Amino acid sequence: MPATHIPPEQWTGRDDSEDGGRARRIYQYAGDSGDRALLGFASEAGVARNKGRVGARQGPQALRKALAGFAAPTNAQPFADLGDVDVEGDDLEAGQTMLGQHIARALGQHDRVIVLGGGHETAWGSYQGLRAHFAEKRIGIINLDAHLDLREPGAAGPSSGTPFNQMRHADPDGFDYLCIGLAEESNTVALFDRAADWGVHMVMDHALIADHTAADAEIAAIAQRSDILYLTIDIDLLPHYQAPGVSAPAARGVPLSTVEHLVETVMTAADAHGCALPLADIVELSPAHDRDGMTARSAALLVRRLLCA
């Protein structure tokens, strides 16, 4: 079968029980219930169609492994692992449809679902699930990414470079998209023109490097005009030395500390303006190209914050 659901595996990790009941790690909170949930999208079809380095299909398991051994914060609570939607070969559309169905169901049982990609084609499946569950809500899309991913589908079909184009075509009147961390040299003039035509809000990587708060006002503004926020994080936003294991490593990149600030700012803005953050995804981890699990750990830090906030 081209797209299947794979049940979660047992989480394991270091046991520090000799230090008492508060010496707990993230894996010890994983189970089948909780307010928060993780769901994997094991796919590299979108990256392959986009002519990138393949390997993202192994991303969800590598992220879980990196996350499992982190120390749990004081406020950690049990969370559900919902397993993986696994895309074999090129049947991307079937996988995205299945991912959307799983997300729509999960949003009825959990207040936040975090999807572990997969390439950025994950985002189109994520959006389908979010829109199916919140049919009448105003969705603010926040993408932390070096790329706009607004490309028109090519001969191979939709890819990891097209998800926000697909969202705009699905809901042209409701399309509200903020892209943070853009690298000028990684986006053609045609993509910037399309973004301008479609009213996309943008904050460039140079601005964030100069001032880590450069996107704060834009984040507050989209939260104020939305009912819910959808946060999607492409790990290729990070510098190549912090995230070598991605489809397209960044020559410059936005430092991890700044990306952590951005994630925190999104959560704070959602709370401040009374809009929910029910869905986030973290994509483009390619373990085959990762040095010493560095990229997986960088991504897992962001998952930990979203999971335990």
> Is 236 labeled as ligand-binding?
yes
Residue 158 has pLDDT above 90, yes or no: yes
CA dihedral 191, 143, 59, 67 (to 10 degrees): 160
Residue 162 has pLDDT above 70, yes or no: yes
Q: Does residue 215 lie in a domain region?
A: yes
> Is 5 labeled as ligand-binding?
no
The pLDDT confidence band at residue 170, using thresholds 50, 70 and 90, is very high
Residue whose pair of structure tokens reads 């303006």 in the numeric block: 273
Q: Does residue 121 lie in a domain region?
A: yes
Q: What are phi and psi of 131, to 5 degrees?
A: -70, -35
The pLDDT confidence band at residue 2, using thresholds 50, 70 and 90, is confident
Please tell me the number of Cα atoms within 13 Å of 129 on its side-chain side: 30
Per-residue model confidence as pLDDT tens digits over 45-84: 999 999 889 999 999 999 999 999 999 999 999 999 999 9
Q: Does residue 2 lie in a domain region?
A: no
CA distances from 288 to 56, 183, 292 (A): 8, 24, 11
Query: Token pair for residue 154?
Result: 């090519």
> Is 212 labeled as ligand-binding?
no
Q: Does residue 19 lie in a domain region?
A: no
Give residue 169's domain range. Answer: 35-308
Q: Does residue 208 lie in a domain region?
A: yes
pTM of the model: 0.97
Query: Token pair for residue 217?
Result: 């006002």
Give DSSP secondary structure letters for 167-201. HHHH-TTT--EEEEEE-GGGS-HHHHHHHHHTT-E
Domain count, the chain: 1
Q: What is the mean pLDDT of residues 95-108?
A: 98
**Runs of H (alpha helix) within 53-170:** 59-68, 92-107, 122-133, 163-170
CA distances from 132 to 32, 103, 126, 162, 228 (A): 23, 9, 10, 20, 13
Per-residue model confidence as pLDDT tens digits over 226-256: 999 999 999 999 999 999 999 889 989 999 9
> Is 90 labeled as ligand-binding?
no
Residue 8 DSSP label: P
Q: Does residue 9 lie in a domain region?
A: no
Q: Which class for 81: exposed (0-12), middle (13-18), buried (19 or more C-beta within 10 A)?
A: buried
Q: Does residue 18 lie in a domain region?
A: no
Long-range own/partner contacts, residues 66-69 (CB < 8 A, 24 or more apart): 66/293, 66/296, 66/297, 66/299, 66/300, 67/26, 67/27, 67/300, 67/303, 67/304, 67/307, 68/11, 68/12, 68/13, 68/25, 68/26, 68/27, 68/30, 69/13, 69/14, 69/25, 69/26, 69/27
Q: What is the CATH number of the domain that holds 109?
A: 3.40.800.10
Q: Does residue 10 lie in a domain region?
A: no
The pLDDT confidence band at residue 1, using thresholds 50, 70 and 90, is low
Per-residue model confidence as pLDDT tens digits over 74-96: 999 999 999 999 999 899 999 99
Residue 140 DSSP label: E
> Is 15 labeled as ligand-binding?
no
Query: CA-to-CA distance for 231 and 279, rounded, in angstroms?
Result: 7
Residue 134: CB atoms within 10 Å: 18
pLDDT of residue 105: 98
Residue 282: CB atoms within 10 Å: 26
CA distances from 261 to 21, 36, 69, 121, 247 (A): 30, 21, 23, 25, 24
| CB 85, CB 36: distance < 8 Å | no
Residue 82 DSSP label: E
